[in-house]
Structure 1
Amino acid sequence: MILVLLVISTIALFLTFVYMHQSATRLLLTAIFGIALVVSLVLVVRNDSAHYGMEQVTTTKTTPLKSAGSNQMDLLMYQSVGTADKHRVYIYKQTTGQKKISHTTASTKITNQVKRTTGTTKLVTKTTRWTYKSNAAKFWFGIADNDHELISRHNTFYIKKHWVVLSTTQAKKLSTLAKQQAKTLKSRAKVYVGNEVKAAMMKNPSLSKSQLAKLEKAAAAKFQAQAMQSMIQQVKTSH
């Protein structure tokens, strides 16, 4: 509405100054329309440059966080924006069965942070926007279409200690490496589990079948975790 007032006062000032004869009425109207023009112009500039009539409002949203990778590994992925890796777009899921992955937005107003937690994995998003202080302010300046203008957004990913953070390139390399070494790792795992079982039976020959089964399962899981960690380090250090 302030822009409408600016246009009307400009036209009225022009018509009054050009077409009216010199008189007290002309001077009065010229002063009124001139003041209206100056005031509306100043307010438009202040609204645009200093967000006059507006205030900052921050909202916090918590979103469930699930792995963007396979069921074998809890994974948070990111895509670097630019060559210096100063900005990242993080890729994740909100539910396990989610088909289309979610991602953050690439913008200088948006920052991301990854924190380790012993609690629930989640994404906490704090968003700060400009909003009008009142309906009157929105009535006068809302035509500028700057209500709820984004100031900043900070995404904090809370992930547990065992989660892995990889770039999309590293994740692809890891997948390829795991397929290439699948047969080798399978044979090595068999040997590793066998050695663990033999060592345990030497210490306690009276182990039951159920105890041996638990031992084999634990040894296989341990080997798999160590092998995966080794491959992760390999893709992280490779160029």
Structure 2
Amino acid sequence: MVLITLVIGAIAFFLAFMFTFKPVSRVIALLVSGIILIGSIVLMVANYQNHFGMEKETTTTSTEIYSASNSDTMPMMLYKQVGTSGKNNVYVYNLKSSQKTPNHTNADEYTTNKVTTTSSTTAKLQTKTTRWVWKSDFYKNLYLWSGMNNTIVKRVNNFELPKTWVTVSTTQAATLQKAMASMTTEQQTASKTAGTQYVNQAVTAAMTKNPTMSSSEQVAIAKEAQIEYSSQVLKQALASSK
């Protein structure tokens, strides 16, 4: 609506200036069209600079995420460092247990990322997004076609990760990949054997406490133990690479 009154005011002011010759009529026409023109400009500036007619609205979404490694037994959060503060780092994750193209956070001035550790066994991403929205339908119609609605103010991503998850930079991941590729057959066999022993010990300890444990429960404990072992190995590898 403001855009329409702006155009009408500008055309009316031009016509009044060019084609109105009687002094009284000229003054009245210029005054009325000038008020419409200037008023429209003031309203537009107030909206663009001070978000006049708008208010902030925050929405929160929460979704389960999966390891960027595409492996259930190697829970990993990847990130690419942007800047020096770490606030604008780009985090890489999956929304499915396995996917070709991973998801990632936005690298812009509005987005802040946080990583916290929880006692949960599942990883979650909670996103709080704050945007400018119209206060009412009146302002919505007043500033029709302005493109200001849903303008983002800030976005906060909070990654809630289990203790077994490891946060790895893309540089560290590349280093680890090279180290794994250079492992000898003996080293690979020793690692697999150690992992199997760790899992067996965990299952045996659990069955000692609960001899009537079902086979599905044993599988669940074995998977959890495998995740714990992979997490320990990954953390040790990261520590040794520093």
Q: How far did 1:3 drift? A: 1.9
Cα distance between partner residues in 1 of 2:124 and 2:229: 29
Q: Structure 1 residues 116 and 191, CA, compared in 2 at 3 Å: closer, same or farther?
A: closer
Deviations 1:84-119 (A, max 9, x none): 655210000112033321111100110000000112
Retained in 2: the 8 A contact 1:189–1:223? no
SS of residue in 1 equivalent to 2:167: strand
* Letter matched to residue 153 of structure 2: I
For residues 36-185 of structure 1, the aligned pairs below 5 Å read 36-69=36-69, 70-82=71-83, 85-119=86-120, 120-181=122-183, 183-185=186-188
Cα distance between partner residues in 2 of 1:129 and 1:191: 51
* Letter matched to residue 104 of structure 1: T
Kindly name which structure, 1 or 2, has the bigger radius of gyration based on alpha carbons: 1
Retained in 2: the 8 A contact 1:76–1:92? yes
* Letter matched to residue 21 of structure 2: H
Retained in 1: the 8 A contact 2:78–2:169? yes
Retained in 2: the 8 A contact 1:117–1:161? yes
Q: How far did 1:181 drift? A: 2.8
SS of residue in 1 equivalent to 2:145: helix
Cα distance between partner residues in 2 of 1:30 and 1:225: 76
**Of 22-31 and 62-71, the range deviating more from structure 2:** 22-31
For residues 169-208 of structure 1, the aligned pairs below 5 Å read 169-181=171-183, 183-187=186-190
Cα distance between partner residues in 2 of 1:128 and 1:33: 38
Q: Structure 1 residues 189 and 98, CA, compared in 2 at 3 Å: closer, same or farther?
A: closer
Alignment of 1:10 onto 2:10:
yes
Structure-1-length-normalised TM-score:
0.78
Runs of 5+ in structure 2 lacking a partner? 198-217
Cα distance between partner residues in 2 of 1:71 and 1:169: 22
Retained in 2: the 8 A contact 1:91–1:101? yes
Q: Structure 1 residues 175 and 29, CA, compared in 2 at 3 Å: closer, same or farther?
A: same
Runs of 5+ in structure 1 lacking a partner? 195-213
Q: Structure 1 residues 169 and 47, CA, compared in 2 at 3 Å: closer, same or farther?
A: same
| Percent sequence identity over aligned pairs | 35
Cα distance between partner residues in 1 of 2:181 and 2:38: 72
Q: How far did 1:73 drift? A: 1.3
Q: How far did 1:223 drift? A: 7.1
Structure-2-length-normalised TM-score:
0.77
* Letter matched to residue 46 of structure 1: A
Q: How far did 1:52 drift? A: 1.0
Q: How far did 1:41 drift? A: 1.0
Alignment of 1:232 onto 2:238:
yes
**Of 223-232 and 64-73, the range deviating more from structure 2:** 223-232
Deviations 1:11-47 (A, max 9, x none): 2122113311325444333222121112111101101
**In angstroms, what is the RMSD of aligned CA positions?**
2.9
Q: Structure 1 residues 227 and 103, CA, compared in 2 at 3 Å: closer, same or farther?
A: closer
Cα distance between partner residues in 2 of 1:191 and 1:106: 40
